Structure 1
Amino acid sequence: MEKIKRWAFDFWYSQTPEDRVIRKSSFYVTIGVFTIIVGIFFMITSHRMPKTYADISGSNQTEIATLKQAAKTNEPVTLILRRTGCGACNNAQSTIVKNVYWHRLTRPNRKFVILDLKRMTNKQLMELAVAVPDVKTKRGIPTPVVANLERSNQRWHAEQISMTDDKQAIKNVFSQIGF
């Protein structure tokens, strides 16, 4: 402790006034640069983090158009199906929203399609079931569904899929998204 006190005393109260000015100036420049770096960091990271499905998705019509456009260009898509009022969807919401947000930042060319099945017409539901047969079960289309889709034979094929609200299974599907 005595060495630290001695160093601090020598730093602030050096023998010559010129040394004192130089040391204090370099100290203030260092503090200024550090403050600017911290300010820039908080400026970049302080934007509003999405918390709900509504924050990361558009209307069903927009999302369906995105899916159709990706089908024309054979681009891979991550499909997320949910239902308003679905308890399992609400349980998985934080995991899905966070992963979609970060993957959109790190993979801006990746398409994400988020559909609310409760707001879709019967015709749209049938088209979805025909276009993406992997998401349909004997009891219909479960929710939540997170699937990485690839296009083959005029249909979407699920490369990885999670049909539960198990957060680890959902994270595994997102971790398989390539660049």
Structure 2
Amino acid sequence: MSMHIQSAFKVNAPPHEAWRLLTDLERVAPCFPGAELAEAIGNGMYRANFKVKLGPISLNFAGKVGFVELHEDRGLAVIMASGSDTKGRGGAQGTVRCQLAADAGTTSIALDSSVDLSGSVAQYGRGQGMITDLTQQLVTRFAANLEMLTASPASSPEASKPAPAAAQEAEVGGLLAGALWRAALRFLARLFGRAR
């Protein structure tokens, strides 16, 4: 199952500071719920784990992540990630293009993601609208954590500490409920839109 997901957020920092932070995987990875970097494996790549809980289903992906393109002059970074569920239920791979742009003293970050799910993991992702909603909510949490990280002044001892710790699993039960609600609203809108 292939998906294309676009999202965006702002960081309260100028582009050069946002770039430095966003391209430091060791600092920024813990901002993403459920993500954890392990050791560096060369060429800017890291072994990584991503844990997510969808209601009663826990998924734990083990794989690798890293930047495959960095163009600071254009504000463009491309991240590649791939992994397999540790219980053999399938896998995921994807690329995320991050485009940074100055925006009145802050930085707008546009994410353009291509994701391929395989195996039974793809069954959980059947409702692309639901996966898109879940992804957007995870990106929103990531942006909030990134904002907390950029809020600490560089001179403070807090600035040298890693980003906020990610939860053991990205608990998306509440996110899932919200995504289901939005999917139901879209269905009703289509249903009543046809009745006219």
TM-score normalised according to structure 1 size: 0.25
If asked which structure has higher relative contact order (CA below 8 Å, sep 6+), I would say 2
Higher helix share: 1
TM-score normalised according to structure 2 size: 0.24
Higher strand share: 2
